[in-house]
Copies of this chain bind each other. A is one copy, B any other.
Amino acid sequence: MISRVRNVVNSVMGGLAALPQPPERPQPDDLELKYPYCRPEFLQLSQDEIQVSADHVSRPIMVPREPNRLPWSAGYAEVINAGKSPRNEDQAATTQLSISRPARTPNRNTNKANNKGNNGNSGEDNLQQEAMAEETEEMDELHFTYFGVFDGHAGTGAAIMASRTLHYHIRDKMAEVSELLLPVTYEDQNHPGTGSNHGSGSGKPSSKVITKEHLIIGALERSFCEMDSQIERERLTFRITGGCTALVAVFVLGKLFLVNAGDSRAVLCRNGEAIPMSRDFTPESERQRLQYLAHLHPHLLYNEFTALEFPRRLHKTDLGKQTLYRDHTMTGWAPKTVTEDDLKFPLIFGEGKRCRVLATIGVTRGFGDHDLRVYDSHCLIKPFLTAAPEIQTYDMMEQRFGEDDFLIMASDGLWDVVANQDACNVVLDALTQFHPQDPNRYTSAAQELVMHARGTLQGKGWRRPAEDKPASGDDITAFIIPMYHYGNQHLSSPTLLSESEESSTREMETETEAEADPRPDSLDP
């Protein structure tokens, strides 16, 4: 991501050192890097190749050397920006992991998840492990496949850390509810949350019905918050620069969970039609949430900003005149008389890609940025950001997918210049040139898609010659994930299919009768 944060120091890695820091905190430059700069491990790039990939003039498109290192031979391609930051601040990860139930598996670590994933670094081991997993298939294991795109800003630290660790947080959070996820009778006495008949002493007790899907969503939500908390803690002992968005796809229990915190985007292409699978979170789309926070906690504006939005920046000459405005309750505009307070800089200002929170940041969800402040001010940005994702689910069992149905997950570098349907069309065109079983099929399509957005260097800048339009100067990252593998895998595996059926039909609870209200003045409706 470029220009999301106004680069105080453009040599980004240590950029935040220029901002005022709380005195008790060690300066980031005093600390060791948590992780050295890298590209996704499944690309298998040498240090020399990493150097070459960062050429802002040639902007080479990087693809995996061995496409079947990725689950289902999914496609991947990336390209660096046109010079706005010295390094590619996007990151990506994919892996396959599993969790198991402690009580039924005495030979495994008790209540601990097993990592059977490749995370891109185990070469042919990946396929071996997949085979192993199939051999040991049993009711007490839950496998999931994970893809993540992380778009960094103001440094590469947060994105690298997220690409290295978020999937473990997801595994661990799922493992915490493994007894509920795996097909066993849920033991009420240890989990009053889904239990029943606990001595309330107030008549008929009851409990909400909570499905496995609810539990997966909860685990994904908690893992995003835990990822951000880890960065917050470890930035005190390591140098973890900047922040990043996060877009994650998890295939589990017969469903696809699209988890989004930021403005990367997932688009499903089914029967040639583009179906959005995530919503972009930007200062514009999140205006009312941010204004509501500022309304409730005005001290977060440090008396330097106004929570109201105006059609343009107001100035002293506007005092006493009429303007239009909108606050956190409004989507329309209404008139007001301009006061001194309205001359402060607006919390949300600018349009489209130039719209920023507190004049500083162009993205509102993700990880990191804990020390980011408004330039030349103590005003912290982080309270306005959130790691909490929005999650969309898609039932993979409801229909059969073909070999030309796929999921695109890409950073905003792609979507800034390519519409959803156009992206699908570019991929569909590329897919026709390969046999469905060719392991290079989806990687070549990813390469085509990234090339389509990057365009070619023509005199003054990068352009897309086919449409004669400006191309993307941002970092671009794209996965093309075939959809039929996961569906087929489930259809051929009765065990997994029955699990997935349970997840949508079997409820954790059967009691539905409403609890008699224990408050003294209760009235039946």
Residues of chain A having any CB pair with chain B under 8 Å? 2-3, 6-8, 10, 84, 173, 176-177, 189-196, 198-202, 205-208, 210, 213-222, 225, 292-293, 296-297, 310-315, 317-318, 321-326, 329-335, 338, 345, 350-354, 359, 375-376, 386, 388, 391, 509, 514-515, 517-525
Contact partner, A198, options B217, B315, B325, B525, Cβ 8 Å: B315
Known: A201-B315, A517-B354, A518-B313. A332 touches B191 (CB 8 A): no
In the assembled complex, the Cα of A524 lies from the Cα of B522 at a distance in Å of: 61
Query: For A317, what are the chain B residues with a Cβ–Cβ distance below 8 Å?
Result: 198-199
B215:A333 contact, CB within 8 angstroms: yes
In the assembled complex, the Cα of A218 lies from the Cα of B205 at a distance in Å of: 46
In the assembled complex, the Cα of A292 lies from the Cα of B220 at a distance in Å of: 19
Contact partner, A323, options B191, B199, B215, B311, Cβ 8 Å: B191
Known: A208-B351, A322-B193. A334 touches B176 (CB 8 A): yes
Query: For A296, what are the chain B residues with a Cβ–Cβ distance below 8 Å?
Result: 293, 296-297
B323:A192 contact, CB within 8 angstroms: yes
Query: For A523, what are the chain B residues with a Cβ–Cβ distance below 8 Å?
Result: 3, 6-7, 10
Query: For A198, what are the chain B residues with a Cβ–Cβ distance below 8 Å?
Result: 312, 315, 317-318
In the assembled complex, the Cα of A281 lies from the Cα of B315 at a distance in Å of: 39
A193:B514 contact, CB within 8 angstroms: no
Closest Cβ of chain B to A93, distance in Å, is: 22
> From A312, which residue of chain B is reached at the shortest CB distance?
B207
Closest Cβ of chain B to A224, distance in Å, is: 9
Contact partner, A190, options B10, B194, B321, Cβ 8 Å: B321
> From A289, which residue of chain B is reached at the shortest CB distance?
B292
Query: For A333, what are the chain B residues with a Cβ–Cβ distance below 8 Å?
Result: 193, 210, 214-215, 217-218
Query: For A323, what are the chain B residues with a Cβ–Cβ distance below 8 Å?
Result: 191-193
B6:A200 contact, CB within 8 angstroms: no
22 A-B pairs (CB sep. < 8 Å): A6-B519, A176-B335, A190-B321, A191-B321, A192-B314, A192-B321, A193-B325, A194-B324, A195-B312, A198-B312, A199-B317, A208-B312, A210-B311, A215-B324, A218-B332, A293-B296, A312-B515, A329-B388, A330-B388, A354-B514, A354-B517, A376-B521
Contact partner, A330, options B221, B297, B519, Cβ 8 Å: B221
Beyond A213-B332, A217-B332, A345-B519, 16 extra complex contacts between A and B, CB < 8 Å? A8-B521, A84-B525, A191-B321, A191-B324, A193-B324, A194-B311, A196-B312, A198-B312, A199-B317, A207-B312, A210-B324, A218-B330, A225-B329, A332-B391, A359-B517, A375-B519
Contact partner, A311, options B189, B208, B351, B519, Cβ 8 Å: B208
Known: A191-B322, A322-B193. A519 touches B359 (CB 8 A): yes
Known: A323-B191, A332-B221, A333-B193. A525 touches B215 (CB 8 A): no
Query: For A213, what are the chain B residues with a Cβ–Cβ distance below 8 Å?
Result: 332
Contact partner, A334, options B218, B310, B359, B509, Cβ 8 Å: B218
Contact partner, A3, options B205, B206, B376, B524, Cβ 8 Å: B524
A514:B351 contact, CB within 8 angstroms: yes
Query: For A391, what are the chain B residues with a Cβ–Cβ distance below 8 Å?
Result: 331-332
Contact partner, A312, options B192, B216, B520, B521, Cβ 8 Å: B192
B375:A332 contact, CB within 8 angstroms: no
In the assembled complex, the Cα of A329 lies from the Cα of B220 at a distance in Å of: 12
> From A314, which residue of chain B is reached at the shortest CB distance?
B192
Known: A321-B191, A322-B193, A525-B3. A332 touches B517 (CB 8 A): no
A375:B520 contact, CB within 8 angstroms: yes
> From A199, which residue of chain B is reached at the shortest CB distance?
B317
Query: For A207, what are the chain B residues with a Cβ–Cβ distance below 8 Å?
Result: 311-312
Closest Cβ of chain B to A140, distance in Å, is: 19
A329:B218 contact, CB within 8 angstroms: no
Contact partner, A200, options B311, B313, B354, B386, Cβ 8 Å: B313
> From A519, which residue of chain B is reached at the shortest CB distance?
B359
B525:A2 contact, CB within 8 angstroms: yes
Known: A296-B297, A312-B206. A329 touches B177 (CB 8 A): no
Closest Cβ of chain B to A174, distance in Å, is: 10
B359:A193 contact, CB within 8 angstroms: no
